[in-house]
Amino acid sequence: MNSVVCITSAGILWGIIAIFISLLKDLGFNSLQCVAIRVFFSALCLVIYLSIFPLQFVPFIYLNIFDRSKLKIEFKDIIYFLGTGILSIIFFNYCYFEAIEVIGGVAIPALLLYMAPIFVMIMSFFFFHENLNKRKVLALFITIIGLCFITGAFSQEVILSGKAILLGLGAGFGYALYSIFSKMIIDKYEAVTIITLYYRVKKIRGRKSFNISYD
């Protein structure tokens, strides 16, 4: 029951992101400022949550005090962490928020954002050599055709500019990169190490590894 509530709540909260972005746009904030505001308040809410439920904070305390070796990653892997944070999270948020402004609505940008599974499927085939069977290809084409109908690509009722389409697809592509970059490091580093890196890169030690900490 708790899992159902959490999943439902996550879906609702994700869905209302665009509502707050529209309000921020009306107040004069641009897309980059909206991204910064979202990241700031996400971090603030996380800190509040960890303060209310301190047991969730134990893994971070343990890693920082007792097992700092887990806070080291190889220098060559930094590109994957930067890719997850910059090329994925920031890029997809910027494109998504900009698409909302250009299109003047929420529904179509949200639909274009969910082209992400298609990008993931294609990139997984090339980067991870995952099997691209007939069922996956069929699902890919059905998704594309469905999105074309919904966005009005086959009618004259909804006319989208090239910029709007590119921004929407850019959001989907950036969102897909999150899965790709994460896949590249999830087998090498523990989840808590990857999560901790999102908070702060403290200092670089040598040329082969750098130390990160949560403080």
Tens digit of pLDDT per residue, the chain (215 long)? 567 887 788 778 877 887 888 888 889 898 888 888 887 887 777 667 666 665 555 555 555 545 556 567 777 888 887 777 777 888 888 998 898 888 877 778 877 888 888 899 889 989 888 888 888 888 888 877 877 776 665 555 666 788 888 998 999 999 899 888 888 887 777 665 666 565 443 333 344 444 444 34
What's the rounded Cα separation, in Å, for the pair 99 and 86? Answer: 18
What's the rounded Cα separation, in Å, for the pair 134 and 75? Answer: 39
Residues 58 and 166 sit within 8 Å (Cβ to Cβ)? no
* Integer Rg of the chain from CA: 20
The pLDDT value given to residue 215? 41
Give Cα 204 distance to the centre of its chain.
26
Q: Which DSSP category does 214 fall into?
A: -
Residues sharing a CB contact under 8 Å with residue 65, sequence separation 6 or more, in sequence order: none
Residues 194 and 178 sit within 8 Å (Cβ to Cβ)? no
pTM, whole model, 2 decimals? 0.70
Q: How many residues does the chain have?
A: 215
Q: What is the largest CA-CA distance in the chain?
A: 63
Q: Give the tokens for residue 210.
A: 């750098």
What's the rounded Cα separation, in Å, for the pair 168 and 114? Answer: 9
The pLDDT value given to residue 57? 52
What's the rounded Cα separation, in Å, for the pair 2 and 20? Answer: 26
Residues 123 and 179 sit within 8 Å (Cβ to Cβ)? no
